[in-house]
A and B are shown apart, each in its own frame.
Chain A
Amino acid sequence: MSEVAAETQVKQKGKTKKMSTRVDFTPMVDLGFLLITFFMLATSMSKPQTMEIAMPSKEKVTEEDQTKIKASRAVTILLGKENKVFYYEGTRENNIDPVVNQTDFSPTGMRQFLIKKNYEIMVKVRDLKTKKDSKNLSDEDFEKQKQEIIGDKKAPIILIKGTVDSSYKNLIDALDEMAICNIGRYAIVDITPFDLELLAKKL
């Protein structure tokens, strides 16, 4: 250090100066922290999250190939303006329109209905998860068994339809609800005149 260097200078007057090998590290520390600051500002630690979706292909499907979903299992979610959501079950039968309910994306809204609708499967998935958490199940097996459970034949089928007034956020929220409520079968579908008619009646 500096005082050590001074001492040696006093002692060895006249002789060839022995330079201290000590280096002052302060500027190097400054440099180090400067670089850290730069990297913290110019980089991001987290990779963006992503949601993987698979859409149906547009290829023409013949009538008999199409799987007609049972109206009793179908739930239609309509994304309205100002984050409003409307849903109804089934479709028009014997000239009686299905009841359209209005709700929102809060935990007490849409989710309550979906949980009720998909209760059995949610319970099964939860059991499976406890099994995984207690280390009795590998991640791979968990995923496989989960897919089997949520692909259950009796599970509800959700159709997500966005109106022109809805936003991308609504769509993501709706897809999120599907993931939260363990719904295996859902699709993003174009809105039909029938849906618009129901909506117009509701509003």
Chain B
Amino acid sequence: MPKVKIKRKSTAVDMTAMCDVAFLLLTFFMLTSNFIQKEPVAVNTPSSISEIKIPDRNIISILVDAKGKVFFGADGQENRVQLLTKMGAAYNVTFTPAELKEFSLVNKFGVPISLMKSYLALKSEERDLPQNALGIPCDSLDNQFKSWVSIAKGVNREYRIAIKADQATTYPVIKKLMGSLQDINENRYNLLTSLKNTPDYE
């Protein structure tokens, strides 16, 4: 009887296929997803059945946290430089080119214009600390929020306004914002929400 020879199989596997799969997935994720924007405060948006997607570009994003603090952000680095220059001119603050450059990299901020200089001097990781996230004043005495929006609109007519507010934000805060927007004749805007299923009545 011949000896049965047990063939020793190599445990090494050809990794080429796996590598292909990994990079295919990588490509897919890189193409379909977009980076999460860093936000100064965590905001939990209410859900709605609306399925309209927000456009990618030319967005003025207004962030309102649960306590009613308002944050402002406009996209486009060129636009941001112009925006701060004009805003500074309106409030008698002059910014150095270095500060303008720094501002063009800021995604969203929530400081009164008087503190903008010291805010821009901070390191980016210090900016989101609670003591530095003050919110933009938007009451009737000192409505800087209104100025930001109207100047941004002046810089770029294409801007659309998107309001992202927390579920728990009280109605008077929202009303105040809507009132400010109404004052500068911005009557169309978007409210950001997360998705909820539509009930069907068949």
Cα distance A165–B175 in the bound complex, in angstroms: 12
Is A49's CB within 8 Å of the partner chain B?
yes
Could you say which of B83-91, B108-116, B160-168 contacts chain A? B160-168
Bitwise, A22-48 to B at CB < 8 A (1) or not (0) is 001110110011011001101111111
Q: How far is the CB of B94 from chain A (nearest CB, A)?
A: 33
User: Is B12 a contact partner of A2 (Cβ separation < 8 A)?
Assistant: yes
Bitwise, B159-191 to A at CB < 8 A (1) or not (0) is 000101111111111110010011101011111
Query: B50 contacts which of A3, A29, A33, A51 (Cβ < 8 Å)?
Result: A51
Is A156's CB within 8 Å of the partner chain B?
no
Is B46's CB within 8 Å of the partner chain A?
yes
Query: B171 contacts which of A26, A54, A164 (Cβ < 8 Å)?
Result: A164
User: Is B169 a contact partner of A45 (Cβ separation < 8 A)?
Assistant: no
Could you say which of B74-82, B123-131, B132-140, B192-200 contacts chain A? B192-200
Is A12's CB within 8 Å of the partner chain B?
no
Is A166's CB within 8 Å of the partner chain B?
yes
Is A67's CB within 8 Å of the partner chain B?
no
User: Is A48 a contact partner of B45 (Cβ separation < 8 A)?
Assistant: yes
Is A122's CB within 8 Å of the partner chain B?
yes
What residues on B are CB-neighbors of A21 within 8 Å?
A: none
User: Is B194 a contact partner of A49 (Cβ separation < 8 A)?
Assistant: yes
Cα distance A59–B46 in the bound complex, in angstroms: 31
Interface residues on B, range: 35 or more
Q: How far is the CB of B61 from chain A (nearest CB, A)?
A: 10
* CB-nearest residue of chain A to B174: A168
Is A69's CB within 8 Å of the partner chain B?
no
* CB-nearest residue of chain B to A181: B201
Is B25's CB within 8 Å of the partner chain A?
yes
User: Is A55 a contact partner of B34 (Cβ separation < 8 A)?
Assistant: no
What residues on A are CB-neighbors of B183 within 8 Å?
A: 58
User: Is B33 a contact partner of A51 (Cβ separation < 8 A)?
Assistant: no
User: Is A43 a contact partner of B33 (Cβ separation < 8 A)?
Assistant: yes
Q: How far is the CB of B178 from chain A (nearest CB, A)?
A: 6
What residues on A are CB-neighbors of B195 within 8 Å?
A: 46, 49
User: Is B54 a contact partner of A166 (Cβ separation < 8 A)?
Assistant: no
User: Is A3 a contact partner of B191 (Cβ separation < 8 A)?
Assistant: no
Could you say which of A86-94, A169-177, A194-202 contacts chain B? A169-177
* CB-nearest residue of chain B to A57: B187
Residues of A within 8 A of B (CB): 1-3, 24-26, 28-29, 32-33, 35-36, 39-40, 42-59, 79, 107, 111, 115, 122, 126, 162-173, 175-176, 179-180, 188, 190
Residues of B within 8 A of A (CB): 10, 12, 14-16, 18-19, 22-23, 25-26, 29-30, 32-36, 45-54, 56, 64, 162, 164-175, 178, 181-183, 185, 187-196, 198-199, 201-202
Provide a sorted-by-A list of 28 A–B residue pairs whose CB atoms are within 8 angstroms. Answer: A1-B10, A25-B15, A28-B22, A32-B26, A33-B22, A35-B26, A36-B25, A40-B33, A47-B56, A49-B51, A49-B54, A52-B191, A53-B188, A58-B183, A162-B171, A163-B171, A165-B170, A166-B170, A166-B171, A167-B167, A167-B171, A168-B64, A168-B166, A172-B47, A172-B191, A175-B48, A180-B198, A188-B178
Question: Other than the known A52-B52, A171-B174, what 4 A-B pairs have Cβ atoms closer than 8 Å?
Answer: A39-B30, A49-B52, A49-B53, A168-B169
